[in-house]
């Protein structure tokens, strides 16, 4: 693989860009870049995905949607399946244990607007793994591949590509991502994403990338590296270590959605972007809150928006004080007014957002 002197991949130089800064094909779609937003339960709802795309994410996958038909009309599932105003291609992740149910769920979500279906074999949450869904499926390769085949067969006549997200394995002694990835490719999966941890690790320790490199070397379809992608430099290092076709960013994007354009710009130019303008952050955060409140309503919306506000202001001057105050606010208008006032005060310190420490890992589950 040819490398530029500054460390950026340069072959082939289509579009006048280094390889990792070029668009990438996914089925019939040409994604604009190779920096993706990871699906995260309780986080990557429609407002977050739209925001991630505005800040340069080349692809954004929904929270996992249940395969249980009796829950499809529930408010929670209806919100997750709401793609109103979302730019395409729309990618929906489904989770379950039964091949027939997974195929039915794929068709249901395509009817609701999904243009790409992602299969969840990566979520480590106990409530998911206890019913043998998510990363628990990696312990049962025949069932896992039966699910993949069923979903691909359901989606193929509809012209909908299927992707797969998984971990390196169930535990350190059972890293079977390579075998599953090869089986998924044979079944017709269009792209595989691998989080560089086992299910046993959860989010502890550090991601390892050797397994991802092995999978990439063996597959002909695109492979996406996920896990601990926290900065432009880390993204480049992971791409170099694995040879992966793209990176997927999860927790590092919480409160920092501009990380997608920062990474893409660095991969394209070798240069770091300046921190965003406070005025831009103000517009983005207030728009995010308005869209969040509109989706969830004034009561649930105010409560569930608190975590997003906390992530945005983590490590910023007086951010802890705002977070504590916001946690007592019950009115959506007051919540927005307090955030706006805080950012107006912050803008008086300087035009650009102060460099903050990375947000602490949140209690959410990238899937």
- Residues labelled as active-site residues: 123
* DSSP output for 14-45: GGGS-GGGS-EEETTEEES-SEEEPPEETT-S
Task: Please tell me the distance from the alpha carbon of residue 19 to that of residue 247, in angstroms, as a whole number.
Answer: 13
Per 3-state DSSP, what percentage of the chain is helix, strand, and coil (rounded to 5)?
45, 15, 40
Q: Among residues 358, 363, 44, which one has the least CA distance to residue 228?
A: 358
Residue 309 neighbours by CB under 8 Å, 6+ apart:
285, 289, 322, 323, 326, 335, 339
Residue 86 neighbours by CB under 8 Å, 6+ apart:
46, 49, 50, 113
Q: Label residues 223-250 b or e (16+ Cβ within 10 Å = b).
A: bbbbbbbbbbeebbebbbebbbbbbbbb
Helix axes 319-326, 298-313, angle to 10 degrees: 170
Sign of the torsion angle spanned by Cα atoms 250, 256, 257, 258: negative
């Amino acid at each position: 693989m040819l490398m530029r002197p500054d460390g950026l991949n340069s072959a082939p130089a289509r579009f006048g860009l280094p390889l990792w800064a070029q668009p990438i094909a996914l089925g019939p779609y040409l994604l604009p870049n190779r920096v993706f937003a990871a699906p995260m339960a309780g986080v990557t709802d429609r407002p977050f995905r739209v925001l991630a795309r505005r800040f340069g994410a080349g692809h954004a996958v929904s929270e996992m949607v249940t395969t249980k038909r009796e829950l499809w009309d529930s408010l929670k599932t209806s919100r997750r399946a709401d793609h109103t105003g979302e730019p395409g291609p729309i990618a929906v992740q489904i989770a379950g244990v039964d091949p027939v149910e997974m195929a039915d769920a794929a068709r249901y979500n395509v009817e609701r607007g999904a243009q790409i279906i992602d299969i969840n074999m990566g979520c480590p949450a106990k409530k998911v793994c206890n019913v043998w869904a998510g990363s628990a499926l990696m312990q049962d390769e025949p069932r896992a591949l039966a699910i993949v085949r069923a979903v691909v067969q359901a989606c193929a006549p509809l012209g909908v590509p299927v992707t797969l997200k998984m971990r390196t394995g169930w535990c350190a002694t059972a890293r079977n991502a390579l075998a599953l990835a090869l089986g998924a490719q044979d079944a017709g999966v269009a792209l595989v994403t691998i989080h560089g941890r086992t299910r046993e690790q959860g989010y502890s320790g550090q991601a390892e990338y050797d397994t991802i490199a092995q999978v990439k070397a063996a597959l002909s379809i695109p492979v996406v590296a996920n896990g601990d992608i926290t900065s432009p430099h880390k993204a480049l290092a992971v791409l170099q270590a694995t040879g992966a076709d793209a990176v997927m960013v999860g927790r590092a994007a919480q409160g920092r959605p501009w990380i997608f354009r920062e990474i893409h710009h660095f991969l394209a130019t070798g240069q770091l972007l300046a921190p965003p303008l406070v005025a831009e952050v103000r517009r983005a955060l207030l728009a995010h809150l308005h869209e969040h409140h509109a989706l969830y309503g004034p009561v649930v919306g105010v409560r569930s928006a608190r975590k997003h506000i906390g992530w945005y202001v983590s490590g910023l001057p007086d951010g802890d004080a705002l977070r504590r105050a916001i946690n007592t606010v019950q009115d959506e208008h007051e919540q927005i007014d307090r955030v706006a006032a805080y950012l107006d005060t912050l803008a008086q310190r300087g035009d650009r957002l102060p460099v903050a420490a990375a947000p602490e890992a949140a209690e959410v589950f990238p899937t």
